[in-house]
Amino acid sequence: MGFLLFAGRKLQLKARMNQLQYRQMQLSQEQQTIASQIADKQQAIQAAKNQLNLSSQMFVLGNVLNGLSSNDTVKQMLNSKGLATCSSRDLQALLNGQKISAGGQEISLTGDDFSQIQSVYSQLQYQSQMQASYATNVINSVMDASSKLELTQLQNKDSQISMEIENIESQLKLVTGEYEAAKKGEQSEAQSSAPTFGLA
């Protein structure tokens, strides 16, 4: 009778061990998924910020060149050089001290003309950078708040899973100890219950 009790108890404990191990495996997989989601989210945030910074730089450059093209002082100076129309590329070249071809001749800015256009450029650049910086800071703040909420939710879930895994490990340790005890009891009962043969 004792053998059957130990055998039945051992089967119950083995089934419980299998349940706990299966749940432990499920939780580990969930934790890996969450870790991947956190990494992906962080990469996406950084990529978005990098793109925002690039867009900000392009805005500043475009805004400055457009401002130069429409500035009365600059337009008068360019007209005096035979540049009634001047592309953004040509303006950029002139600002870099390079020569451009126009009307069959090479034109460059020197002396007062170069200083004048550089002065206008610096003013426009400062204004554009201030505008871009403000817009970038606002957008970054919104992105940070949104991403922080999502990351916090994922990290909280990860912490909950870690706690459950620790709890399962504790249960497994106890159940495994009980299983080994039941196994030994079953073996002991089997030996004591076995018939003995001897000579009378």
C-alpha distance across the termini of the chain, in Å: 28
Q: Are 112 and 76 in contact (CB under 8 A)?
A: no
- Residue 79 is predicted with a pLDDT of 77
What is the SS3 assignment for 200? coil
Residue 88 identity (one-letter amino acid): S
CA 83 to chain centre: 49
21-31 per-position pLDDT tens digit: 999 999 999 99
CA 43 to chain centre: 3
- Residue 98 is predicted with a pLDDT of 76
151-191 per-position pLDDT tens digit: 999 999 999 999 999 999 999 999 999 989 888 888 887 77
95-137 per-position pLDDT tens digit: 777 777 766 677 777 788 778 888 888 888 899 999 999 999 9
Distances (CA, A) of 66 to 54, 77, 132: 18, 16, 15
